[in-house]
Amino acid sequence: MTDLFSPVQLGNLELSNRIVMAPMTRNRAPQGIPTELMAEYYRQRASAGLIVTEGAQISEQGIGYPATPGIHTDEQIEGWKTVTEAVHDARGHIFCQLWHCGRISHPDYHGGSKPVAPSAIVAAGQAFTYEGLKDFVEPRALDADEIPGIVDQYRHAAACAMQAGFDGVELHSANGYLLDQFLRDGTNRRTDVYGGSIENRIRLLKEVTEAVVAEIGADKVGVRISPVNAFNDIHDSEPQALFNQVAEMLTDIGIAFLHVVEVTMAGDVDRAVDMSDIRRRFNGLSIANGGYDKARGNAAIADGRADLVAYGIPYLANPDLPERFKQDAALNEADQATFYGGDEHGYTDYPTLGD
């Protein structure tokens, strides 16, 4: 029977299991450059079938949080090389998540300039800055002639990821960030070819995906979506129709995987969207994400509802999660106080079964 511990082919990679380390922001990259401590963090978790890194900004324009890494400069490439080499030396596989925060940012990160978005609609809530929480500001709507530049930022970041030694990239089109902002009619009120109909609103994601595929190959590209997650004040009037069409578009392009966050930020299931309907429309590998434990993960794979299962907080606190699942061992409890920022405490000091 196929389960979490069955191997699976992802492009030209043979993954030893179907357990994915989900992308998790940890705010431990001063000056946006990955560190040796980050390399150790990812190395410890290399027994995952696949690691997807925390979001890495595709440009200075894409920054929205303090001490998060980028993937667009020579210094960042060199920093990430220490990470990918550590993971590969431990016989793991790692994709870089490409991230542009869009309106979920603050002028503090942009020399006083407004962050960009599909439309000039301020998000409810507050931005995390180096000086603490500050109210979100009204973003600046991107001009149509700026959008090819956004597409090229993603293409360039994907090329940088390959130079850094990554096995592939995941496009972050979830959780209310820039690509998600273009998808949803709650944040996209444009009247040009990037707004209005679903076909128009998915155009930026389509162009970005096509550009990245042309740069590095379809077998090295995945996309992450979150159809029911309202995080960062995101919403849509017809999410089922929207994400069905997204899945069909990505099938036509032929990417390697679709990573679906199935729950709200609070971990709740929202029956307004049928995730299985989205999956039926995508012919690549499906990664399910949303509060899974071992039993539910095995069931999802055995039933064909997912090809792989992503784990977030359990992986944060359990670097040897696959081995713990195999042995039905107890899991370490995550220390929420150390999730964001700090040093090795709550980052690289969680014990393994061997410890």
As a three-state string, the secondary structure of 208-224 is: HHHHHHHHHCHHHEEEE
The pLDDT value given to residue 17: 98
What does the pLDDT average to over 294-307? 96
Give dist(CA 69, CA 32) in Å, integer: 4
Closest CA to 250 of 222, 280, 273: 222
Q: What is the DSSP letter of 48?
A: S
CATH of the domain at 183: 3.20.20.70
The pLDDT value given to residue 267: 66
The span from the first CA to the last CA of the chain, in angstroms, equals 32
Whether residue 166 is contained in a domain is answered as yes
Which tens digit of pLDDT belongs to each residue from 308-347?
A: 999 999 999 999 999 999 999 999 999 999 999 999 999 9
Q: Decide: 102 and 181 in contact? Cβ < 8 Å.
A: yes
| HSE (side-chain half, CA atoms, 13 Å) at 317 | 12
| Whether 154 is catalytic | no
243 phi and psi angles, rounded to 5 deg: -80, -25
The pLDDT value given to residue 133: 97
Q: Decide: 154 and 58 in contact? Cβ < 8 Å.
A: yes
Domain limits for position 267: 8-338
The pLDDT value given to residue 266: 66
The pLDDT value given to residue 318: 98
Lowest mean pLDDT of 117-121, 149-153, 222-226, 265-269, name the range: 265-269
Closest CA to 171 of 207, 145, 197: 207
Q: What is the DSSP letter of 351?
A: P
Closest CA to 286 of 10, 13, 5, 7: 10
Q: Does 56 have pLDDT greater than 80? A: yes
The pLDDT value given to residue 178: 98
What does the pLDDT average to over 127-135? 96
171 alpha carbon, distance to own chain's centre: 6
Contacts of 296 by beta carbon, 8 Å cutoff, 6+ apart: none
Share of the chain above pLDDT 70, in %: 99
Residue with tokens 């995906």: 209
Whether residue 355 is contained in a domain is answered as no
Q: Which two tokens stand for residue 174?
A: 């979830």
Angle at 204 between CA 51 and CA 180, to 5 degrees: 55
Whether residue 190 is contained in a domain is answered as yes
H or E element at residue 128: strand 126-129
The pLDDT value given to residue 270: 72
Whether residue 344 is contained in a domain is answered as no
Whether residue 314 is contained in a domain is answered as yes
Angle between helical axes of 74-89 and 147-163 (0-180°, round to 10): 40
Characterize the bridge pairing of strands 13-15 and 8-10.
antiparallel
**How many domains would you assign to the chain?**
1
Give dist(CA 98, CA 209) in Å, integer: 11
Whether residue 354 is contained in a domain is answered as no
Rg (CA), the chain: 19
Could you tell me the sign of the dihedral formed by the alpha carbons of 210, 21, 344, 127, in that order?
positive
Whether residue 350 is contained in a domain is answered as no
Give dist(CA 272, CA 294) in Å, integer: 26
Q: Does 265 have pLDDT greater than 80? A: no
Q: Decide: 287 and 309 in contact? Cβ < 8 Å.
A: yes
Q: Does 149 have pLDDT greater than 90? A: yes
H or E element at residue 75: helix 74-89
CB contact burial 205-229 (16+ within 10 A = b; e otherwise): bbbbbbbbbebbbbbbbbbbbbbbb
Q: Does 142 have pLDDT greater than 90? A: yes
- Catalytic hit among 177, 194, 292, 347: 177
Reported as a pLDDT band with limits 50, 70 and 90, residue 81 is very high
The pLDDT value given to residue 354: 86
Angle between helical axes of 147-163 and 203-216 (0-180°, round to 10): 30
Whether residue 353 is contained in a domain is answered as no
Give dist(CA 158, CA 110) in Å, integer: 23
126 phi and psi angles, rounded to 5 deg: -135, 150
